[in-house]
Amino acid sequence: MSGPDQPTQGGTPADLLKTPLYDLHLAQGGKMVPFAGYLMPVQYPMGIKGEHLHTRTHAGLFDVSHMGQARITGPDAAAALETLVPGDITGLGLGRMRYTQLTTDDGGIRDDLMATRFDGHVFLVVNAACKADDFAHIAAHLPAGHSLDILDDRALLALQGPEAAAVLAALAPAAAEMAFMSMQPLDIAGIPCLVSRSGYTGEDGYEISVPADQAESLAGKLLADQRVAPIGLGARDSLRLEAGLCLYGHDIDLSTNPVEAGLGWSIAKRRRTADAGYPGAAVIAAAFAEGPARKRVGLVPEGKVIAREGTDVIDPATGETVGRVTSGGFGPSVDGPVAMAWVRADLAAPGTALALDVRGKSRPATVAPMPFAPHRYRR
């Protein structure tokens, strides 16, 4: 999904952009860091652990305005998008959304994204670090008669957590009745918005596309509810990791295909054929038929050892390196370390004992089903 990105990408202060909520972040005590060409809050005074647990128990408000929003228009926008992604877009009802991927000719993943079908267009949300390349690729490869409109005049907020529905319904009663993975226009306290019941934290919640010049007003109205706290990139990353959700550029990238990534569920049966008409369809069809040589798995290290990205995964029986950690950290909800990794397919079953090479020392770990923490995320 168009998920969170770790705050590791830099830029000089003069080069960095600011979202419409920049001043609000400073007023809330946000610690600003460079990410994907923007200055973004990595945490607030509550701290990453506190923000994480607040989102799991109440409601957290995230600024995700750095992500890319766009609209494909034309006589059959859904079919046009299907020439670029493996997801079933034409099968969506109006106002329904789907997680899918932009693929390469060899079955790799350019990016993951969310697509919502409307009458006359498809609305897209893509990852911040990839949006310029994504939009250039989409615009260059759409069938004749279709176009891509980039929506630079909109901000994007995510309201996530078990109390998110009650919070938003107090300002827009219809929000409470929205189905998961649906999107519709809603007036929120007098502000016209486009709202989806979706998110990337493992919790129930919403993503709210709002005119950029009204984003600060809307965020202020949401934060005025005592159940809501501002949440930064740090907790956004730990939340999605506990939920077992991929981070583009880390758990999935150009070298991985959706099947081995455990994303086969996002590809409908009719799109699993070699002639499905999107880039890499034959490679992905073969992966379904033959099974992948490696798989993305969850790992629980023993004790309190944190296995960071890049840590080698070892078969303790042979001493052979059989994989690599792609995301790892402390899971506040489970009160311990969790990780995701690519491992050889024959060692990917839950319960398999493996080892991690952490700073030259072998540390036990066990393959675990994801999500790691109880959650409300519904596919």
The rounded distance, in Å, linking the Cα atoms of 134 and 248 is 13
Contact 205, 158 (CB under 8 A): yes
Bridge partners, residue 58, by sequence: none
Please count the other Cβ atoms lying within 10 Å of the Cβ belonging to residue 351: 8
**Is 207 known as a binding-site position?**
yes
Whose CA is closest to 64, among 126, 142, 16?
126
Residue bearing tokens 């992905």: 284
Helix, strand, coil content of the chain in percent (nearest 5): 25, 35, 40
Bridge partners, residue 147, by sequence: 73
Q: Which amino acid is at 144?
A: A
CA 93, distance to chain mean position in Å, is 22
**Cα–Cα distances in angstroms (integers) from residue 21 to residues 28, 211, 231, 274, in the given order:** 11, 12, 13, 45
Exposed, middle or buried: residue 359 (CB in 10 Å: 0-12, 13-18, 19+)?
A: exposed
User: ∠ at Cα 4 (110, 186), nearest 5°?
Assistant: 100
Q: What three-state secondary structure class fits 70?
A: strand
The rounded distance, in Å, linking the Cα atoms of 32 and 17 is 12
The rounded distance, in Å, linking the Cα atoms of 160 and 376 is 10
Give the contacts of 226 (CB within 8 A, at least 6 positions apart): none
Lateral strand order in the sheet of 228-231:
183-188, 191-196, 205-211, 154-160, 59-63, 228-231
Give the contacts of 56 (CB within 8 A, at least 6 positions apart): 161, 162, 203, 239, 332, 333, 373
Which residues line the annotated binding site for substrate? 207
